[in-house]
Amino acid sequence: MSSRWHRPLTEHKRGDAWIMGVLNCTPDSFSDGGSFLDIEAAVHHGFSMWQDGARLIDVGGESTRPGAASVSEEDELKRVIPVIRALSDAGCAVSVDTMKAEVMSQAIAAGAVMVNDVSALRYDPDSLGVVAHSGVDVCLMHMQGDPETMQNSPQYDDVVEEVSAFFEERIEKALAAGIQASSILLDPGIGFGKRLEDNLLLIRSLAEFKKRFHLPVLLGVSRKSFLGLLTGCPVEDREMETAVAGGIGIINGADVLRVHDVRLQHRAMKIASALS
């Protein structure tokens, strides 16, 4: 299966950002857990995000919020495969947010064109081969620890250098497994084992990652806790903060913004793209 569902992100020009819509088919995600466990509701929401301007719908069946426990492969498959198949059949480009190789494989068979793995293909030893064999795109994200423990006193001497070293190692592994460089996106993992100051510095340093790796960068800041630390607003009231952080991310070089409220953030993205 070819992943050429789009003009390659490696050819993106500055200010040409895309929106990825978050579709959590989970009971316990930090923002909208439980809202889209029903398959029909999930498909309806995913298609609505597509109509609102998302270029990719990111379907996940396992929460990766801080403190989240893992779910079984069987439960994850039941949650995401029918949704991915329905959205793909409706003409939407879909990514699967998973760390499990079997979920990746079945999602790709159901129509997914990207694997979005918060473990950067480390969690499951078979995942590198699944992505390489299928030819789909893959987002490699940095995370210190795992979702259950990652916010237990994270520490860095130089977060930008340490994330860069991680990317170097994971890109090397991906290329060695047969994954094409043109299929790789990088995500610095805002909120995944990071302190407030680490998150802010990583967003300021997106251009450095672009310059160093010459690969597209995905930025996920939507409604995250570091925004609440800055303004005191609860998770359900952080769209303004999300828009500002995402807009600055675009100006600093982000190619893709992963967001919950696609309609609102698509509007903000257009302004930031025009100004970058």
Q: Which residues are catalytic?
A: 224, 258
CA atoms within a 13 Å half-sphere pointing along the CA-CB vector of 100? 17
Provide the Cα torsion 145, 161, 8, 86; round to 10°: 10
Nearest to 189 by CA among 211, 214, 164: 164
- Give the pLDDT of residue 5: 43
112 Cβ contact list (under 8 Å, min separation 6): 59, 84, 88, 94, 95, 96, 104, 136
Fold classified for 18-275: TIM Barrel (3.20.20)
* The model's pTM: 0.90
Q: Which amino acid is at 141?
A: M
**For the chain, what are the domain ranges?**
18-275
Query: CA-CA distance, 187 to 219, in Å (whole number)?
Result: 6
Q: Which residue has the tokens 């990111």?
A: 58
Nearest to 91 by CA among 54, 42, 40: 54
Q: Which amino acid is at 185?
A: L
- Kindly give the confidence (pLDDT) of every residue in the chain, 276 residues in length, as a single tens digit, with 9 standing for 90 and above: 334 445 455 455 555 799 999 999 887 544 554 455 688 989 999 999 999 999 999 999 997 767 667 789 999 999 999 999 999 999 999 999 999 999 999 999 999 999 999 999 999 999 999 999 999 999 999 999 777 776 777 899 999 999 999 999 999 999 999 999 999 999 999 999 999 999 999 999 999 999 999 999 999 999 999 999 999 999 999 999 999 999 999 999 999 999 999 999 999 999 999 998
54-98 confidence digits (pLDDT tens) = 999 999 999 776 766 778 999 999 999 999 999 999 999 999 999
Q: What is the 3-state secondary structure (H, E, C) of the chain?
A: CCCCCCCCHHHCCCCCCEEEEEEECCCCCCCCCCCCCCHHHHHHHHHHHHHCCCCEEEEECCCCCCCCCCCCHHHHHHHHHHHHHHHHHCCCCEEEECCCHHHHHHHHHCCCCEEEECCCCCCCCCHHHHHHHHCCEEEEECCCCCCCCCCCCCCCCCHHHHHHHHHHHHHHHHHHHCCCHHHEEEECCCCCCCCHHHHHHHHHCHHHHHHHHCCCEEECCCCCHHHHHHHCCCHHHCHHHHHHHHHHHHHCCCCEEEECCHHHHHHHHHHHHHHC
Q: Cα–Cα distances in Å, from 65 out to 10, 33, 124, 202?
A: 29, 10, 19, 19
Rounded to a whole number of angstroms, the CA Rg of the chain reads 17
User: Bridge partners of 104?
Assistant: none
Query: CA-CA distance, 49 to 32, in Å (whole number)?
Result: 14
- Give the pLDDT of residue 148: 73
- Give the pLDDT of residue 14: 55
The 10 Å Cβ neighbour count of residue 186 is 27
